Amino acid sequence: MTIKVGDKIPSATLTTMTADGPGPISTDEYFAGRKVALFSVPGAFTPTCSAKHLPGFVENADGIRGKGVTEIACVAVNDVFVMDAWGKSAGVNGKVTMLADGNAAFAEAMGLDMDASGFGMGKRSKRFSMIVDDGTVAELNIEEPGAFQVSSAEHMLTQL
């Protein structure tokens, strides 16, 4: 079943790069007590994700935070090393937290996984964005396959 507005974010473990190397992040702890702008891409370094999706959130980070968001995070079904390298190459510089869902467990738990094996990419996450307020989905924007509109930073700004 696909997650919807009003649902709690499912319990899962994501990974981020820390000064000491890869570190686990519990979704229960990460989303508790704050407002998070979360967006997901099918894959790091892929064309739309690298040219539009991630850069849009980096460029609009101040505006999004200015509307009460305490954290902006990007999640993808890639390993933590790829997510860290992608964040560095995109110049996120602390504006966006890069989260790895290496085995697609988080995407599956939300019902937002997809099979991209036809493109040689295996199991991935659908492209989406959401506003999570204290662990509860307040806004949810799921893209149709191949589209990039409702999950953009610019669209999210209109929802805040």
Q: Structure tokens of 47?
A: 């064309």
Residue 1 lies in a domain: no
**Three-state secondary structure string covering 105-131:** HHHHHHCCEEECHHHCCCEEECCEEEE
Structural domain of 94? 13-159
64 domain residue, yes or no: yes
Q: Does a structural domain hold residue 20?
A: yes
Check which CATH number belongs to the domain holding 64 and give it.
Answer: 3.40.30.10
Check residue 101 and give its pLDDT: 96
* Model pLDDT, residue 118: 66
Q: Are 94 and 16 in contact (CB under 8 A)?
A: no
pLDDT of residue 120: 60
Give the pLDDT band of residue 145 (cuts 50, 70, 90).
Answer: confident
The model's pLDDT over 90-130, given as tens digits with 9 standing for 90+, comes to 999 999 999 999 999 999 999 998 776 667 665 778 999 99
Give pLDDT, residue 116. 63
CB 40 within 8 A of CB 2: no
Residue 70 domain-assigned?
yes
pLDDT in tens, 63-76: 999 999 999 999 99
Question: Residue 5 domain-assigned?
Answer: no
User: What local confidence, expressed as pLDDT, does residue 146 receive?
Assistant: 83
pLDDT of 42? 87
- Is 74 catalytic? The answer is no
User: How many separate domains does the chain show?
Assistant: 1
Q: What percent of the chain has pLDDT over 70?
A: 93
Residue 123 within a domain: yes
Answer whether residue 35 is part of any domain: yes
- In one-letter notation, the amino acid at residue 28 is D
First to last CA, the chain: 26
Active-site residue (options: 12, 17, 37, 49):
49
The answer as to whether 46 is a domain residue is yes
- pTM metric for this prediction: 0.93
| pLDDT recorded at residue 73 | 98
